């Protein structure tokens, strides 16, 4: 609802929307306080934060934030929009490592190395706060609250990475997709949006790469889950119609899949009502 302002109204050229009049955090003259507020810091910390400018950057859908191997100049905090982070193999194959949304950190894995080990592109029009790495430590001393926020964000990123393992751990493709959808659902809920109905910001290929399966398999898995009447899928619109069943199914390991599918649906029917 809040991000229905997507403004996908084309305008290929026109003035680059880097400068926006800005009320509060929307302007380019955002400060640490805005960043702290985004990350859910205490009001007191936000109000008492030192007035240090933190550049904000706007990206259009498909625009890259940083490239693989690029010097790590900043870490980023997503203010709005969605990003996919991935790695490109030598033969051009894209391995998607995760999807990052509001109030999450981007590029933190570059802090300990010379360059970004991954690449990030916006899946929709997005805005991020950029925190220069060289200032990271200094700012953290100036504003203890910022240090806390960075620690929490890093821990959160680590937890998020754990979700990938959780997804890849499932042997069956349908289970992987189910877990993925549940993770998405949880994150939607944590952003105050509906956990039952949401729009996928990424393509089937991105999902496939993230799940570690072929994109055709993702399609088939979607129709399978729809066949079990757990979800309803219309292109990128997803609605979870049986959360408990989806949850139970996502817990399947190994050949428990057979039981689950048999008990729910001997053969996937075409539940394709619009």
Partner DNA sequence: CGATCAGTTGAAGGGTCTCAACGCGAGTGG
Partner DNA sequence: CCACTCGCGTTGAGACCCTTCAACTGATCG
Residues that bind its own copies (CB under 8 A): 10, 12, 87, 89-91, 93, 95, 97, 108-114, 117-118, 136-137, 140-141, 144, 147-148, 150-159, 161-162, 164-166, 168-169, 171, 212, 251, 253-254, 256
Pairwise CA distance, residues 161 & 76, whole Å: 17
CA of residue 223 relative to chain centroid, distance = 23
Residues 14-53 touching DNA, rule: CB under 7 A, are: none
Closest approach, Cβ 221 to DNA, in A, equals 7
Pairwise CA distance, residues 266 & 232, whole Å: 18
Q: Are 145 and 45 in contact (CB under 8 A)?
A: yes
**CA nearest to 178, candidates 143, 224, 120:** 224
Binding partner of residue 218 among its own copies, DNA, none, CB under 5 to 8 Å per kind? DNA
Residues 150-189 touching DNA, rule: CB under 7 A, are: 171-174
Pairwise CA distance, residues 83 & 201, whole Å: 9
Q: Are 61 and 124 in contact (CB under 8 A)?
A: yes
Site membership for DNA, residue 239 (CB under 7 A): no
Closest approach, Cβ 273 to its own copies, in A, equals 33
Q: Where are the alpha helices (DSSP H) in the chain?
A: 32-38, 43-48, 133-142, 144-169, 173-190, 204-211, 215-227, 243-250, 256-264
CB-CB neighbours of 128 under 10 Å = 26
Binding partner of residue 93 among its own copies, DNA, none, CB under 5 to 8 Å per kind? its own copies
Site membership for DNA, residue 269 (CB under 7 A): no
| Closer Cβ to its own copies, 77 or 227, answer by number | 77
Closest approach, Cβ 231 to DNA, in A, equals 11
Site membership for DNA, residue 204 (CB under 7 A): yes
Residues ≥6 apart with Cβ < 8 Å to 30? 53, 54, 55, 56, 129
Site membership for DNA, residue 71 (CB under 7 A): no
Binding partner of residue 233 among DNA, its own copies, none, CB under 5 to 8 Å per kind? DNA
Tokens found for residue 229: 């009447």
Closest approach, Cβ 166 to its own copies, in A, equals 7
Binding partner of residue 108 among its own copies, DNA, none, CB under 5 to 8 Å per kind? its own copies
User: Residue from 223, 229, 243, 265 that binds DNA (CB under 7 A)?
Assistant: 223
Q: How far apart are the first and last CA of the chain?
A: 22
Give the bridge partners for 31, in sequence order.
Answer: 53
* Residues lying near DNA in the complex (CB under 7 A): 10, 12, 171-174, 203-205, 212-220, 222-223, 233, 235-236, 254-255, 258, 270, 272
């Amino acid at each position: 609802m809040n991000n229905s302002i997507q403004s996908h109204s084309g305008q290929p050229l026109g003035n680059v929307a880097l400068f926006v009049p800005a009320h509060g955090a929307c302007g380019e003259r955002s400060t640490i306080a805005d960043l702290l507020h985004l990350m859910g810091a205490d009001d007191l910390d936000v109000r008492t934060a030192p007035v240090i400018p933190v550049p904000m950057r706007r990206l259009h859908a498909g625009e890259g934030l940083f490239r693989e191997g690029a010097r790590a100049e900043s870490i980023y905090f997503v203010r709005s929009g969605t990003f996919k982070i991935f790695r490109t193999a030598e033969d051009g194959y894209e391995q998607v490592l995760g999807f990052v949304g509001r109030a999450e950190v981007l590029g933190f894995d570059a802090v300990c190395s010379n360059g970004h080990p991954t690449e990030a592109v916006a899946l929709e029009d997005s805005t991020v706060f950029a925190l220069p790495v060289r200032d990271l430590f200094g700012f953290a001393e100036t504003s203890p609250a910022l240090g806390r926020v960075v620690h929490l964000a890093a821990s959160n990123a680590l937890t998020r990475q754990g979700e990938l393992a959780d997804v890849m751990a499932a042997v069956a493709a349908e289970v992987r997709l189910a877990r993925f959808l549940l993770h998405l659902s949880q994150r939607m809920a944590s952003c105050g949006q509906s956990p039952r109905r949401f729009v996928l910001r990424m393509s089937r290929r991105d999902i496939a790469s993230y799940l570690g399966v072929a994109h055709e398999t993702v399609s088939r898995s979607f129709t399978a889950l729809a066949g079990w009447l757990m979800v309803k899928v219309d292109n990128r619109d997803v609605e979870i119609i049986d959360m408990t069943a989806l949850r139970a199914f996502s817990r399947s390991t190994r050949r428990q899949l057979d039981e689950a599918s048999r008990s729910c649906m001997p053969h996937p029917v075409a539940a394709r009502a619009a």
